[in-house]
Amino acid sequence: MRYGLRPRLLASLLLTAAVTLGVAAIALLGPLQDRLRADASDNLRAAVLTSRPQIEREVRPESDFDAAFGLDSRTDSRVQVYDLVPRELFPRESRRRVPREVYRVLATRRTVRTVTADEVRVAVTLNGRRRGVLIATKPLTDVAATVNQVREAFLTAALVGLAVALLFGSGLSSTLLRRLERLREAAVSNTPIPADDSRDEVGDLTRALASMQQSINRQEAARRAFVSTASHELRTPLTLLQGMLELLDEDLREGRVDLDDAHEQITGAQRQLRRLEHLASDLLDLSRLDAEAPLRSEPVELGELTRAVAAEFELRAAESGLNVEVVPPIGPCWASGDPGAIARIVRILLDNALRFTPPNLPVRVEAAYHGERATIEVADAGPGVPPEERDLIFERFQRGSSTGGEEGFGLGLAIGRELAERLGGRLELANDDTIGGARFVLSLPIELPAGSHASGEGLVSAYGPRKLGPSADVT
């Protein structure tokens, strides 16, 4: 049996209110009667002691005891004055009517106070012209009446409080559960999370779930795009490879081998294998990024690194009628990072540049210092990137519209940017509206090798300020 959240919320609220009121009743009503009795006793004693000097002066036969009557009316008590008469002179029946407090006062010479459930009695000695004992007796019926009145008022307030708690708790739980129910239905049915602008925990949860849902939807769309693109990217080269190998095998079996045709078939197969290798490399880099594999941090000389990476593309560039120009820095250009990761980023940028650059046009690679950063710039003369796609091309599985039918998986620039951020740097598309093509700039923190000049001023004085190609503005 499943219990709803609303009954449990209301039960918890009512139980909390009932326990609170119960504890308050025990703490308040329990000692209330005792405190009221003690206060009545203290007040009566103070009034008696205040009136005693005047009563002592009036203890004489001709006195009318005005002070005693005044004490009686002020304290709403019964006042009795006893002359000091030897005990043996009292008849036995009269002695029975004399309160025992008289004898206790005479014996101890102290004020005697007696508190019972029904009354409070205060007895003091009188030391005037004639010695005696003053007794004031006050009934406590008003104390019991006050306690009963407070108890009834507290019970009424408790019932009203519980009713109000139930009313407001019901309204609050209904509103809260209605909002949670909308969230549950949206989560179960995978529909858009309803907007909730409330500045409370449920509102924060709603906005967090909406953001999570959007992220999941983007990831799902990326996953679908990945599956679609991967299947196409894998099926195409594999199909071509299979066809080329079958034709070559058929020619070999029949003994009619055309060397030129065989060479062409092998060249095409090698191209498809490079395509598969490129895809496998991208997927491997992507898995390493998602696994957050650690990267090294050490001084890297960018000039030598760019020359080494550019040399890897010489054959490919020559086959496409292109030329990779490596602009050497004035002096060593040092940066902090992982040499393998930096080389991987440069390979991605060079691969993109060679894909989209028309024949007989150069691809330029330059390492330099720019302010407090070391940079590598890769510029091409291709179709460039439309302004609305400047951020899109750095997302996973996304490609620009100006690809010209070139093959691609939409992972290279995304991997490059994530690697750059992991290295503490940035990979950006520079703002160059005055020239054609695209210019990508990788910027990294400067780190000199041990024993080198560590001052930024030393770098400027040694190599001078550098510009990144046509413009020094990277953003």
Domain match, 349 and 449 both: yes
The pLDDT score that the predictor gives to residue 245 is 82
Domain-embedded: residue 168: no
pLDDT greater than 80 at residue 139: yes
Domain match, 383 and 443 both: yes
Domain match, 300 and 448 both: yes
Which of 96, 121, 144 corresponds to the end of one domain? 144
Domain-embedded: residue 206: no
422-431 pLDDT, tens digit per residue, is 999 999 998 7
- 3-state SS, the chain, equals CCCCHHHHHHHHHHHHHHHHHHHHHHHHHHHHHHHHHHHHHHHHHHHHHHHHHHHHHHCCCCCCCHHHHHHHHHHCCEEEEEECCCHHHCCHHHHHHCCHHHHHHHHHCCCEEEECCCEEEEEEEEECCCEEEEEEEEECHHHHHHHHHHHHHHHHHHHHHHHHHHHHHHHHHHHHHHHHHHHHHHHHHCCCCCCCCCCCHHHHHHHHHHHHHHHHHHHHHHHHHHHHHHHHHHHHHHHHHHHHHHHHHHHHHHCCCCHHHHHHHHHHHHHHHHHHHHHHHHHHHHHHHHCCCCCCCEEEEHHHHHHHHHHHCHHHHHHCCCEEEEECCCCCCEEEECHHHHHHHHHHHHHHHHHHCCCCCEEEEEEEEECCEEEEEEECCCCCCCHHHCCHHHCCCCCCCCCCCCCCCCCHHHHHHHHHHHCCCEEEECCCCCCCCCEEEEEEECCCCCCCCCCHHHHHHHHCCCCCCCCCCCC
Which of 124, 144, 164 corresponds to the end of one domain? 144
Which of 96, 114, 144 corresponds to the end of one domain? 144
The pLDDT score that the predictor gives to residue 364 is 92
Domain match, 136 and 235 both: no
Domain-embedded: residue 152: no
pLDDT greater than 80 at residue 187: no
pLDDT greater than 80 at residue 449: yes
pLDDT band at 60 (very low <50, low <70, confident <90, very high): low
Mean pLDDT of 31-46: 80
Domain match, 254 and 124 both: no
The pLDDT score that the predictor gives to residue 122 is 87
User: Which residue has 């679908």 as its token pair?
Assistant: 224
In the chain, the number of structural domains is: 3
Domain-embedded: residue 454: yes
338-376 pLDDT, tens digit per residue, is 999 999 999 999 988 888 888 888 899 999 998 889 999
User: What domain range is 237 assigned to?
Assistant: 215-288
pLDDT greater than 90 at residue 148: no
Highest mean pLDDT among 242-246, 362-366, 388-392: 362-366
Domain-embedded: residue 180: no
Domain-embedded: residue 321: yes
The pLDDT score that the predictor gives to residue 144 is 73
State pTM to two decimals. Answer: 0.49
The CATH number of whichever domain residue 36 belongs to comes to 3.30.450
The pLDDT score that the predictor gives to residue 53 is 81
Q: What angle do CA 166, 169, 172 make, to 5 degrees?
A: 150
- Report residue 191 as tokens: 């529909």
The CATH number of whichever domain residue 245 belongs to comes to 1.10.287.130
The pLDDT score that the predictor gives to residue 474 is 36
Domain match, 339 and 409 both: yes
Give the lowest-confidence range in 218-232, 272-286, 320-334. 218-232
